[in-house]
A and B are shown apart, each in its own frame.
Chain A
Amino acid sequence: MTATLCEHRPSGVDAIRSARKRNSRRTRIVIPSLAVAVVGLFMVSVLLGSFTVTIPDFFRLLGGAEIPGATFIVMEHKLPRAVIAVLIGVAFGVSGTIFQTMLRNPLASPDIIGISYGASASAVFAIVVFGAAGATVSIAALVGALVVAAAIYALSRRGGVAGYRLILVGIGFAAIMTAVVNYLMTRTDVTTAQEALVWVTGSLNSSNWSRVSILGASLVLLLPIATALSRNLRGLEMGDDAAAGLGVPVERSRLGLILVGVALAAVATAAAGPVAFIAFLSGPIARRALGGKASLTAAAMVGALIVLAADFVAANMIPNVSLPVGVITGAMGAPFLLWLLVSTNRNGTAG
């Protein structure tokens, strides 16, 4: 009896070991290929489109050479736009994954739980009431996002923040903020209303280097913190009690993760508006690509991919019309999410 058990044990260990190996092999394949795809799409969006640049010309431009016509379009328009696309994709992807994993609910991304709506309401208020534009709107959005996030956190705190309560309070705030935005849109002339709508949809049309530097600096600060905290995230994913049992300081790490997640979503929203669906989608797509493992790195790259692809389509789909990128992310994202839902249902693994 014991002999047979002993004989069987190695094969069980082997099975686990080979499964683990398969998983890590998958990670080793998926993450570099995502990185390659991001770089490829980045080059495509800079080089192709309404204005085409050859690769040698592009490197000469980077080196500081003056090519009449091309210098301005590439250096002042296309390049900052592509860089912003990558940066907000990374920020939204990481932020969304943090919330979804921590609260164990795919609905709990910043676009659903009210933070983006806070930014929208504040920005639209600035546009409509004060006639603000450019950086002022970004600052208003940032402040709005942070204030609403703080209010949501404070109101959902009651002897610790329960994930469910946080989502519900966030939905309450989202309703108020949406009402404010819709009301403000009726209280102004139609041109301003349209300007506000473009902002609310999320657009990269007003990207420039100063935005790149602000957003880049914020990410340099925030991403290492997110990486450091992601260890605790894996514990929280198993539920508060299990996490506490594993020695994770539940309340403290949750507060830290919320702060980082909110800050990431807020700086990205300030730079480009609340681009729909990136935070919502990146996490689930990355998780699926990795075979069920949550990974901030993969989610960040998926986020960047989505924004780059969507912006390329938005800028070039209709000649001479540059649609806001948010239109495309929403229109592409919805069917994808539905497909995700349906295909998981087939396997019978969905909740």
Chain B
Amino acid sequence: MAIAPHTKRDPHADTLTIPSSPAAQDEAVSPVSPAGPAGPAVTTAPKAAGRSTRRSHNGLKLAAAVVVLLIFCAASLAFGARATSIDVVIEALTNFDPSNGDHAVVRARIPRTITGLCVGIALGLAGAAMQGVARNPLADPGILGVNSGAALAVVFAIYFLGVTNLTGYIWFAFLGAAVAAIIVYAIASLGREGATPVKLALAGAALSAGLASLMNAVLVSSKKTLDEFRFWQVGSISGRDWDLILPVIPFLAAGVVITMFTGRILNGLSLGDDVARGLGQKVGLTRAITAVGIVILCGGATAMAGPIAFVGLVIPHMVRTICGPDYRWILPFSAVAAPLLVIGADVVGRVILPPSEIPAGIMTALVGAPVFIWLVRRRKLVSL
């Protein structure tokens, strides 16, 4: 990360003589003007070089992150109440033997790992896109009312309709999340200047609190509902079966496709609505398209795992310190880093307090929040 600015600042540092990471050595191939300090080319060359180094650096970092994610997935299959070795994991995946107990355990951990992967990708992308579209570093599914919408719908389903299984919650959570997001966005869009960041955050906070009150009114008067709901509320990726995962995956895929390609739009929006408009963007339309993607992703993630706090908020901030402020990088990085956090949190939650497990939703908050606070302290947050 430090390398790109370094080359920019010092035009005499020909061919990057002090690479500080192995990645930087590959970088020496890309031209940092061996021409040295001569002629007018010098003023532009280091700049262009800096940009291209950053780009290929980011590519390498992203690849490294994907590798780490794969390792985490393997760990998620191997660790738990009954730990298995990596060989057994590979064997169980390639050459499954139904009579082998270890193989069965590994197989049983597959849905949970897939859930973590899906939920992480969805929350990471949605968080990054949300922060860009709302131009608000605090934007997060939790703050914009999505989680509380889903939660209220689930309480409604339990109390009035007697739904008591995770698969039954899916569509209620989805619907609740979508309706809440649309209401927040609609309220914030009223008035002259449309959905400004402050209005979005305020509308989201207001709606969240209001919905939470309705929810509590039901929960304090119905023990049965509370007993079901309290386990959904913590947000967990364990105990999810394929019949819960498969129906949601098409939605998440659509959301990923929509959101992943909004990088250019978000870059424009991050300069402010007027500049974006000046650059030829249809601000209202692009914002609405991104919002649709966000709602699908948040709704899907919450339907799968319940409200998982903090991933959408913290990941984009962490990612920005690695890859810079360009949303075309922030989005893919978030999509890799967020499942890292979710799966990592889940694995840690499995082994930290045996024999009981701490759900992923709790662990993401316990792990994510200190990192977030550290980030807030460490540097001036990259302003949006």
How far is A109 from B240 in the complex, measured between Cα atoms in Å?
Answer: 38
How many chain B residues touch A (CB < 8 A): the figure is 53
Given A175-B310, A183-B362, A197-B216, is A338 in contact with B203 using a C-beta cutoff of 8 Å? yes
Q: Which residue of the partner chain, among B206, B217, B233, B366, contacts A176 with CB atoms under 8 Å?
A: B366
Q: Which residue of B lies closest to A345 (CB)?
A: B191
What chain A residues lie within 8 Å of B199 (beta carbons)? 341, 345, 350-351
| Interface hits, A190-223 → B, CB 8 Å | 190-191, 193-194, 197-198, 201
Question: For residues 306 through 326 of chain B, which have their beta carbon under 8 Å from a beta carbon of chain A?
Answer: 309-310, 313
Q: Say whether, besides A175-B368, A341-B199, A345-B190, A323 and B220 are in contact (CB < 8 Å).
A: yes
Q: Are B217 and A172 in contact (CB under 8 A)?
A: no
Confirm or deny: A52 has a beta carbon within 8 angstroms of a beta carbon on chain B. Answer: no
The answer to whether A328 touches B191 (Cβ under 8 A) is no
Q: Are A333 and B205 in contact (CB under 8 A)?
A: no
The answer to whether B210 touches A330, judged by C-beta atoms less than 8 angstroms apart, is yes
Q: Across the interface, which residues of B come within 8 angstroms of A329, CB to CB?
A: 213
Q: How far is the CA of A156 from the CA of B137 in the complex (A)?
A: 17
A310-343 to B contact mask, C-beta < 8 Å, 1/0? 0000000000010110111111011101100110
Q: Is the CB of A172 within 8 A of B209?
A: no
In the assembled complex, B82 has its CB within 8 A of some CB on chain A: no
Contact with B along A132-155 (1 / 0, CB 8 A): 000000000000000000000001
Chain A residues near B42: list those with CB within 8 A. none
Query: Can you list, as one digit per residue, whether each of B217-256 has a CB less than 8 Å from chain A (1) or not (0)?
Result: 1011101001100110110000000000000000000000
Which residues of the other chain, A, contact B368 by a CB distance below 8 angstroms? 175
* A194: chain B residues within 8 A (beta carbon): 219-220, 223, 226
**Distance, CA A154 to CA B79, complexed state (A):** 37
- Given A193-B230, A330-B212, A334-B209, answer yes or no on A173-B202 (Cβ-Cβ < 8 Å): no
A112 interfacial by beta-carbon distance below 8 Å? yes
* Structural contact, A341 and B373, CB atoms closer than 8 A: no
A residues within 8 A CB of B206?
A: 333-334, 337-338, 341
Most A C-beta atoms less than 10 A away, residue of B187, B206, B211, B313: B206
How many whole Å from B220's CB to the nearest CB in chain A? 5
Contact between B233 and A169 (Cβ–Cβ < 8 Å)?
no
For A344, the chain B residues whose CB sits under 8 A away are 191
A172: chain B residues at CB < 8 Å are 369-370, 372-373, 376
Closest approach, in angstroms, between the C-beta of B10 and any C-beta of chain A?
A: 29
User: A276 near B: Cβ within 8 Å?
Assistant: yes
In the assembled complex, A185 has its CB within 8 A of some CB on chain B:
yes
Which residues on the A side are within 8 Å of B216 (C-beta)? 197, 201, 324, 326-327, 330
Q: Is B359 an interface residue (CB 8 A)?
A: yes
> A residues near B, CB below 8 A?
106-107, 112, 155-156, 158, 165, 168-169, 171-173, 175-176, 178-180, 182-183, 185-186, 190-191, 193-194, 197-198, 201, 276-277, 280, 321, 323-324, 326-331, 333-335, 337-338, 341-342, 344-346, 348, 350-351
Task: Tell me the B residues contacting A by CB distance below 8 Å.
Answer: 137-138, 142, 187-188, 190-193, 196, 198-199, 201-203, 205-207, 209-214, 216-217, 219-221, 223, 226-227, 230-231, 233-234, 309-310, 313, 358-359, 361-362, 365-366, 368-370, 372-373, 376-377, 381
List the 4 closest pairs (A to B, CB-CB), nearest first: A334-B210, A345-B191, A330-B213, A179-B365
In the complex, besides A175-B365, A344-B191, 17 extra interface pairs with C-beta distance below 8 angstroms are A165-B377, A168-B381, A169-B373, A169-B377, A175-B309, A175-B310, A176-B370, A193-B227, A280-B209, A324-B216, A328-B213, A330-B216, A333-B206, A334-B209, A338-B206, A346-B191, A351-B196
